[in-house]
Amino acid sequence: MSDAEARIALAKLIESRMAELGVERAGFMRRTGFTQESTFTCYLRGFSNLQLWQVPSVAKILQLNERDILLMCLRQSYDDWVMELFQRHIRPRRRRKR
């Protein structure tokens, strides 16, 4: 089962960040694996999920934290209990003291 609110929240973040940075739609689609305009439009409208394999590219292009995008992507498919489990185990890296 997929969470429509999570899908829409992530799609809106991506769309607004693209506008903010002036990222061209065609270039973004090509670099993130969207092969058809209609597929990307459906994604932006919240009809489909961002795929896990797309997370690194999306985060890099839009200058966003990859961990945050990963958690938002997982939220599309998992309930609160599972998300709490993920969040306990997907933590930011600690910086080593030198």
Q: What six digits make up the tokens of 66?
A: 């990859």
Residue-number span of the structural domain to which 52 is assigned: 4-89
Q: What six digits make up the tokens of 80?
A: 């609160």
Q: Is the pLDDT of residue 95 over 80?
A: no
> Which DSSP string corresponds to 61-93?
HTT--HHHHHHHHHHTT--HHHHHHHHHHS-PP
Signed CA dihedral, 87, 89, 90, 91: sign only: positive
Please, what is the average pLDDT of the chain? 90
Report residue 58's pLDDT band, with 50, 70 and 90 as the boundaries: very high
Q: Is the pLDDT of residue 62 over 50?
A: yes
Overall domain count for the chain: 1
- In a domain, residue 19? The reply is yes
What's the chain's length in residues?
98
- In a domain, residue 39? The reply is yes
pTM of the model: 0.84
The CATH number of whichever domain residue 82 belongs to comes to 1.10.260
Q: What is the DSSP letter of 90?
A: S
Specify whether the CB–CB gap between 44 and 13 falls below 8 A: no
- In a domain, residue 68? The reply is yes
